[in-house]
A and B are shown apart, each in its own frame.
Chain A
Amino acid sequence: MSAAQASGPPQTSASQESGPLRVLTDARYLAVRAIRESVRQPGVEITNVFIPLFFLAVSTGAIANFSERGFGVENYLAFQLPVAVLQAVAGSSAASGIAIVLDMERGYFDKLLLTPASRWSIIIGRVWADAVRAIFFASIMLIAALVAGSGMASGVPGAILILVIAGLFGGAYSGIGIFIAMRTGNAQAAQAGFLLFFPLLFMAPAFAPLAVFDDWLRIIATINPVTYIMEGMRGLVMEGYAWPVTEGGQIVFGEDGLPKTKPPPALHWAFVSLAGFSVFTLTIAALALRARTRAD
């Protein structure tokens, strides 16, 4: 075949050339590419499994024997499981920033910008890929903790909800990596995206309940979104999903004769916090992308 056959008149589907559907379609293609990137670099992802499992093991080993006497937590492994999940998710999502910087350094980011695909699809594709990766890493943490005997008070539906929360948190946290990558274009700075998670983690009830915190730390923890996301997961692991609805100390029964139930309050707050955190991180990521692509 000749080159001529390769380049007839442009043939693209005009009906799908713009609009939100097109953005989402392009984002899906880019998400698949980002996931493939992870699959092909398993070595890079090992730390996202090893480090959280290591902390889960050593913190449980160090504190479990004391936790019930110290602050009334009988099953410390279950108490720590959400911490391991969030740590794994933050680690994997922050890596997106590094991947974007590498794309910039290799010129592939420009290649993407040169296509007619919407700039937003670049962010959305990364966020989706990170949500999927987050679910994968959260699954590993869940399985490991269950095998080690953490238990799951809310059963399979609760485990699925934890994965949903992990996915949403992963998508939201990738906004931080994207923001740093877009603002700095520097791999070392992008790597710091994960380090930013540690203040959020340590200023949340990660290792002990909020009740035993000093006042100043409790105040900070109450405005930390990670607190609510963590407590939401913790409620599912330790307390169960379905709580009976009570009025005046009496269980309320429904028309079917069964007790009316409701999710633990912490779960509501987990989703509210996730929504707020997502809006914040994805907004700064979008603004940073716009600033970079309009750079003068």
Chain B
Amino acid sequence: MSSRPPTIADRLRDELIAAAPQHDRDASLAIQASGLVKHFGEIHAVNGIDLRVRPGQVFGFLGQNGSGKTTTVRMLTTLLRPTAGEATVAGFNVLVDDRQVRRAIGVALQEAGLDILQTGRELLRLQSRLYNVPRGEIEDRVSHLLDVVDLSEDADRRIGGYSGGMQRRLDLASALVHSPSIIFLDEPTTGLDPISRQNLWDYIVRLNREDGVTFFLTTQYLEEADQLCDEIAILDAGEIVQQGTPDGLKSTVSADVIYVQVDGDEEAQQLAVGALLPLPNIEDARWDFNEGIAIYTRSGHDTLPLVVRTLDDHELAFSNLRLARATLDDVFFKATGHRIEPGDQAGQSAQPAQGGPA
């Protein structure tokens, strides 16, 4: 530690820290934010987000395109100045100690930020130098990271010739050169094929479990959030509308969901919902244009006959009756009033149904 006299920046930082609410100075938290706001003119991208992420957590931000996920990540990683509110990452204020924050974190943004004219090895070498990795360790670390992301054989090819999956893996490796304690991944698997996605999930789980790396992950893929995250915040229109563990969130909706497509216009749907809601065991029923009516119940098997009888009694024709366990999609629907758009899930359609990483 140097004993230099405090600079103006030091004093400003101390004043800001002293002025911050006490709960925002919990040094044991990896990431915390209080009332984080970001406005772009008339557009309110983020509207007062509070976050508390513990070290070693995989924290997921689940939301549709435009919900404010990326804006939040850019504020937490010092790329964007908040309009209001505060945030600390690795114990450093993102506004005052921005360089310290950047030194502590690794970031892979939504678009793999790579220089296509460099080779993979050159890019990692440059990243290592900019992160001030000791000169004697750079080559070993670069070779090792290339090995970890399965790019050793292509290390000396120009990045422009890499596939999307290879670029994404290299981008992740570039976020690891300085062994950060916190890694931000902004929609890391968007556009990846199923195998690359599974591999990336494996890397995340390995780093988290073996090295205790904290992950802040944004995603629009429900399965990804379900498989990877210890805690999930559902973001809608720049606000966190629900937060908890995946199981905890799922328990907020009923154990089972009965889906049914009722023939007819919106009026018929409303009639059906109105008829179903008073039934015993039914906790909620909502109509969605794509999915039809979702009926949330604690006991699907007991409720199913009641649903059929009730629709018959009201002379409502129906089809596609099915019973399913509640998923994050149901949580998302219940929390936001809309489902993740099919287009948002395009990448997921190729995803095998079996589970994620061990």
Interface residues of A (CB under 8 A from B): 1-13, 16-18, 22, 26, 29-30, 33, 36-37, 40-41, 103, 106-117, 294-296
B114 — which chain A residues lie within 8 A by C-beta?
Answer: 106-108, 111
A295 to B102, CA, bound (A): 18
B183 and chain A: residue at smallest CB distance: A7
A22 to B181, CA, bound (A): 23
A116–B131 touching, CB < 8 Å = yes
With A103-B115, A116-B99 in contact, do A7 and B213 touch (Cβ < 8 Å)? Answer: yes
CB distance from A255 to the nearest CB of B (A): 51
B99–A110 touching, CB < 8 Å = no
- Of residues 189 to 219 in B, which have CB atoms within 8 Å of A's CB atoms? 203, 206-207, 210-211, 213
B208 and chain A: residue at smallest CB distance: A3
B207 — which chain A residues lie within 8 A by C-beta?
Answer: 3-4, 7
B213–A29 touching, CB < 8 Å = no
B81: Cβ under 8 A from any A Cβ? yes
Q: Which one, B117, B144, B145, B211, contacts A40 given CB within 8 A?
A: B117
B134–A3 touching, CB < 8 Å = no
A37 to B122, CA, bound (A): 12
Question: What 0/1 pattern do residues 127 to 152 of B give for CB contact below 8 A with A?
Answer: 10111111001000100110110000
Give me 17 A-to-B residue pairs in the complex whose CB atoms sit less than 8 angstroms apart, sorted by A's number: A3-B210, A6-B148, A7-B176, A7-B180, A10-B179, A10-B181, A12-B132, A12-B134, A30-B126, A36-B118, A106-B111, A107-B112, A110-B113, A115-B102, A115-B131, A116-B130, A116-B131
A12–B103 touching, CB < 8 Å = yes
B174 and chain A: residue at smallest CB distance: A111
B134–A11 touching, CB < 8 Å = yes
Q: Chain B, interface size: which category? A: 35 or more
CB distance from B9 to the nearest CB of A (A): 12
B74 and chain A: residue at smallest CB distance: A110
CB distance from A123 to the nearest CB of B (A): 15
B148 — which chain A residues lie within 8 A by C-beta?
Answer: 1-3, 6
CB distance from B21 to the nearest CB of A (A): 23
B116: Cβ under 8 A from any A Cβ? yes
Interface residues of B (CB under 8 A from A): 77-81, 83, 99, 102-105, 107, 109, 111-118, 122, 126-127, 129-134, 137, 141, 144-145, 147-148, 158, 174, 176, 178-181, 203, 206-207, 210-211, 213
B181–A106 touching, CB < 8 Å = no
B127 — which chain A residues lie within 8 A by C-beta?
Answer: 111, 115
B131–A3 touching, CB < 8 Å = no
CB distance from B2 to the nearest CB of A (A): 10
B103 — which chain A residues lie within 8 A by C-beta?
Answer: 10, 12, 17, 116
With A12-B131, A26-B130, A116-B103 in contact, do A5 and B144 touch (Cβ < 8 Å)? Answer: yes
With A6-B144, A116-B132 in contact, do A37 and B104 touch (Cβ < 8 Å)? Answer: no
B40 and chain A: residue at smallest CB distance: A296
Residue with the highest number of chain B CB atoms closer than 10 Å, among A3, A12, A18: A3
A8 to B122, CA, bound (A): 22
B203–A3 touching, CB < 8 Å = yes
CB distance from A5 to the nearest CB of B (A): 6
B210–A1 touching, CB < 8 Å = no
A10 — which chain B residues lie within 8 A by C-beta?
Answer: 103-104, 178-181
A13–B134 touching, CB < 8 Å = yes
A9 and chain B: residue at smallest CB distance: B179
A3 — which chain B residues lie within 8 A by C-beta?
Answer: 148, 203, 206-207, 210-211
A11–B104 touching, CB < 8 Å = no
CB distance from A99 to the nearest CB of B (A): 10
B99 — which chain A residues lie within 8 A by C-beta?
Answer: 18, 116
B147–A1 touching, CB < 8 Å = yes
A30 — which chain B residues lie within 8 A by C-beta?
Answer: 126
Residue with the highest number of chain A CB atoms closer than 10 Å, among B107, B117, B127, B178: B117
Q: Which 8 A-B pairs have the closest CB atoms?
A: A107-B113, A111-B113, A4-B210, A12-B132, A115-B130, A107-B111, A7-B179, A3-B206
A36–B132 touching, CB < 8 Å = no
B134 and chain A: residue at smallest CB distance: A13
B213 — which chain A residues lie within 8 A by C-beta?
Answer: 7
B109 — which chain A residues lie within 8 A by C-beta?
Answer: 107, 110-111
A26 to B127, CA, bound (A): 10
A9 — which chain B residues lie within 8 A by C-beta?
Answer: 179
A117 to B103, CA, bound (A): 9
Q: Which one, B116, B131, B144, contacts A106 given CB within 8 A?
A: B116
